Amino acid sequence: MQWLTMTNRLLWEWLLPVLLTAAAIVCGVRQRGRPVRGFTRLLRNTYGSLLRRGADADTRQQRRVFAAALAATMGTGNLTGTALALMQGGAGALLWMWVSALLGMFLVYAENRLGMRYGGGTVGYLRHGLGSRHLAAIFALLCAISALGMGCMVQSNTAAQTLAVYGIPVTWSGLLTAAVLLLVLTGGARRVQYAAAWLMPVLCGAYLLICAVILLLHLREIPLLLKRILLEAMGIRAAGQGISAAAMLAALSTGLRRGIFSNEAGLGSSAMLHSDAPFRDAEMQGQWAAAEVFADTVICCTATALVLLLAPVPPAGEAAGWLIMAFRGLLGNAAGGFLAGCTVLLAFGTMLGWYPCGAACMRYLFGNHGDAPFLTLYVLCAFAAAHGNPAWVWALCDLCNGLMSLPNLYALLRLRETVYPEKKRRIR
């Protein structure tokens, strides 16, 4: 555990903040501020299209891809991950999560443009854009490991810890998770997308509605919470204590790490998740990916963090327990049960969303021979992780995420010239 902590500190406190920021700024400049510039058009083209009726088959398929990608990103990182960020980095970590979302929109937009340009997602632009077979293989291997870790083990562990609060043994929750997961995954990519398309809109809508009710009931306290977030992000913990560089570094590091864990920007997974989209329009896929980051971090993580900051941290310091106690204390026992159900279902949705990404990487490495072994390993990890130590599981997944992002960020910096949107010729 000690070497994991030291390696993660090196990656997430020193190396990755610099690389992620540099890659995001470079991509943002080359994209002339897209997708943040023209953000209203992005919302109209993505969220607005979800409300239109009479969509054709390709549009419906695009919506299912969006739901599956959102399921992969909007999991326990939005709930338990946000609670963990506030416990480790203070309220100021939320501000740095917002920064990670802004940078992340530039990164996922660039990733998906490159993924569409070269085909095959991230492994495509590593293999054909950079011309590096070795980097593509390294990324594919790390992505498959991250799918097992972040996409499966963390989610199963969080679901088991949440159900344990209600007296359900982790063995039974692990068995149930593995069994249902096997049932859905054996139906292929179409069954996964259909399950995500039905699950995510209802689940996210219901969760955000409950959060909105809580915040409206405590509307007068919101300005004070925002002030606290700003001060603690700058390292100011209390009046008269001055500015603490260590506190600011903890908030920055934790906020970036948890923000990226939540929205996965810069990891390269977004381009893999959109690689089978029906529309091969690079601009469109970039916009959809940026919309996912915005929904994940700016909307969902912010709602979760504000609710948590209204409630005291429990003495045990357990993230999942803090969430349930917060909802119970603010809206009663029924709200705690609702949150537990949301946590379990979001965790399951993330497991569904990440599986195709890891499976695609295994097929790149081993061809069709990698499908059955990866499916078996994925289901076994879902069962085994329910018994794991949460701290160890999260630390291991932080390491996998950090290593996975390195070849992707290198590619974004090297291929920065090809990220720039093509100029449209004027017709005279």
Distance CA 326, CA 411 (A): 42
Phi, psi at residue 38, to the nearest 5°? 80, 30
Residue 334 DSSP class? H
Q: How many domains does the chain have?
A: 1
Whole-number pLDDT of residue 247: 65
The mean pLDDT value for 377-403 works out to 82
Q: Is residue 422 part of a domain?
A: no
How is residue 120 annotated by DSSP? Answer: S
Q: How confident is the model at residue 424 (pLDDT cuts 50, 70, 90)?
A: very low
Q: Give me the DSSP letters along 230-283.
A: HHHHTT--STTS---HHHHHHHHHHHHHHHHHHH-TTTSHHHHHTTT-S---HH
Quote the tokens at residue 118: 């070269």
Nearest Cα to Cα of residue 260 among 79, 12, 4:
12
Q: Express each pLDDT in 166-192 by its tens digit.
A: 888 888 888 999 999 898 888 877 777
Q: Output DSSP code: residue 186.
A: T
Spatial CA neighbour of 145 closest among 392, 381, 387, 345: 381
Mean pLDDT of 27-53: 84
Residue burial 257-273, b: 16+ Cβ < 10 Å; e: rest: bbbbbbbbbbbbbbbbb
Residue 427: inside a domain:
no
pLDDT value, residue 240: 45
Residue 334 lies inside a defined structural domain of this protein: yes
What residues contact 27, with CB distance under 8 A and at least 6 apart? 106, 107, 109, 110, 412, 416, 419
Region of poorest pLDDT, from 258-262, 320-324, 412-416: 258-262
pLDDT computed for residue 349 by the predictor: 84
Which of 25-29, 154-158, 255-259, 403-407 has the least mean pLDDT? 255-259
Assigned domain for 425 exists? no
Residue 85: which domain range? Answer: 2-51+58-416
What integer pLDDT is reported at residue 124 of this predicted model? Answer: 92
421 lies in some domain: no
Torsion sign (Cα): 98, 103, 109, 114 = negative
35 in any annotated domain: yes
- CA end-to-end span of the chain: 66
Say which residue the tokens 């993230």 belong to.
Answer: 319
Give me the helices (H) in 367-389, please. 371-385
Q: Out of 27-31, 202-206, 394-398, give the one with best mean pLDDT.
A: 27-31
Q: What per-residue confidence (pLDDT) applies to 390?
A: 67
Is residue 155 pLDDT above 90, yes or no?
no
- Residue 425 corresponds to which tokens in the numbers above? 């010729």
Gap between the Cα atoms of 137 and 365, Å rounded: 7
321-379 pLDDT per residue, tens: 787 788 888 877 777 778 788 888 888 888 888 888 899 899 999 988 888 899 999 99
Q: In the predicted model, is pLDDT for residue 11 greater than 60?
A: yes
The CATH number of residue 11's host domain is 1.20.1740.10
Residue 380 belongs to a domain: yes
Mean pLDDT comparison of 63-67, 214-218, 228-232, highest-scoring range? 214-218
Contacts with 303 (C-beta within 8 Å, 6 or more apart), sequence order: 207, 208, 211, 212, 215
Per-residue pLDDT, averaged over 397-406, amounts to 83
Mean pLDDT of the chain: 82
What pLDDT, on the 0 to 100 scale, is given for residue 5? 78
Distances (CA, A) of 62 to 130, 199, 289, 405: 28, 16, 12, 26
Q: How confident is the model at residue 300 (pLDDT cuts 50, 70, 90)?
A: confident
- Separation CA 119–CA 268 (nearest Å): 14
> How many residues in total does the chain contain?
428
In a domain? residue 124: yes
pTM of the model: 0.83
Cα→Cα distances 360→147, 229, 341, 356, Å: 11, 40, 30, 6
| Spatial separation of the C-alpha atoms in residues 296 and 50, rounded to whole Å | 17
Q: Give every CB contact of residue 201 below 8 A, 6+ residues apart in sequence.
A: 67
User: pLDDT > 90: what percent of the chain?
Assistant: 15
